[in-house]
Amino acid sequence: MADNRRSSTRHDVDLVCAFAKNGAADDAAETRISNLSIGGALVKHARLPMGQRVHISFRVPNHETAISIGAVVRWSTDDSVGIQFDGMRPKDVWALSKYLESLPR
């Protein structure tokens, strides 16, 4: 039986993002988000160590500014990284929530 400890549902998406593996936004490379929730994301990226600090920035269609946030690597494969967001500004939480609500289930 799978142990799914996520507190929020992940949604399949295909969003461009800027992803920095050292936790600094100024060292970001463009990649893609494969799934997304209020609490985290699956990012297309080479394996990273669990616990590493990263930074991600992405846009959702209903929000005029990018969501830019720190995160922590929770798991990793050869081509994907699962990250948990550290926290978001209230307006970003609102925008991301509205975007996720608009996606098909």
Domains defined along the chain, listed by start: 11-102 (2.40.10.220)
Mean pLDDT for 79-102 is 94
Spatial distance between the Cα atoms of 83 and 105, rounded to a whole number of angstroms: 22
Q: Nearest 5°: CA angle at 13, between 9 and 18?
A: 110
Q: What is the pLDDT of residue 23?
A: 66
pTM: 0.87
Per residue in 13-52, pLDDT tens?
999 999 998 766 677 899 999 999 999 999 999 999 999 9
